[in-house]
Amino acid sequence: MSTLEKIVRIKREKINLLKSSNNFTDHFITNNTKQYKQSFFDNLSNSTDKYKIIAEIKKGSPSAGMILDDFDPLLCANQYIKKGYKNLSVLTEEDHFFGSHLHIESIKKHHDIPILQKDFVIDEWQIYQAKIIGVDCILLIAEILTETEIKDFIQLAKSLKLDVLLEFHSENELMKVVDQNVNYLGINNRNLHTLTTDTNHCLTIRNKYEDVLKRFTIVAESGFNTVEDLEKYRSSGIDMFLIGEGLLKEKL
């Protein structure tokens, strides 16, 4: 069983327990004042920064191990904002990334900044929960969803005024994503099954399937540690990045 399969199996077990102990209708809400004043991607697109970076907050990961022993999500957010980053990503998966929904709630109490919840969404219950805690954008991973689930989850997210970053790694997932009603596609340089990373992967996929991907704005994800890496992408027409470890370890 791959790392991704283990994460999804545990996630499904936990969600089933949560759903059995909570009234599902509690999550049907119409308004949440915690969300940022404009959409997650409008804020990112309107940035005048040379590299439009979604700065990720996480304590650790299966690929990197423990990144920050003295992890404080609010302190990380403070430092990112001081450095000028305008969009954040926060890991909330508990067992492999040591995350929590409380990390987002803590940041939202102190900062009016758009946040992407980085988790493994496999149930609509999670999308309602995201809205409740003040998330502005959710991540959907094509590798763990069917084409129909992706479509339904996007529709639900939009009805709750949440942006969606639809992510894939393998070109085998391409047909799941190209007809979906989203404007932003994340191409992950990291294979979540094997945890191997190739910083050229996103560019390779974009260039190979440029005709079918040209209607999307591409977000390059994972593995960036040098400005040279970012510049290579920018010179090829991709200037949006989701970066965690490289920022947390101050490599960029």
Q: Is 171 a catalytic residue?
A: no
222 is catalytic: yes
Is residue 89 predicted with pLDDT exceeding 80?
A: yes
In this prediction, residues 102-111 reach a mean pLDDT of: 94
- Amino acid 31: pLDDT: 45
Of 52, 87, 131, 167, which residue is the catalytic one? Answer: 167
The CA distance from 154 to 64, in Å, is 30
pLDDT score for 3: 87
Active-site choice (143, 173, 221, 245) = 221
* Span 10-32, pLDDT tens digits: 999 998 887 787 554 455 544 44
Decide: pTM greater than 0.75.
Answer: yes
Does 11 qualify as catalytic in the annotation?
no
Across 109-130, average pLDDT: 95
250 is catalytic: no
CATH number for the domain formed by residue range(s) 3-15+33-248: 3.20.20.70
Residue 167 falls in the annotated catalytic set? yes
pLDDT at 34: 60
87, 188, 189, 191: which one is catalytic? Answer: 188
Q: Is 13 annotated as catalytic?
A: no
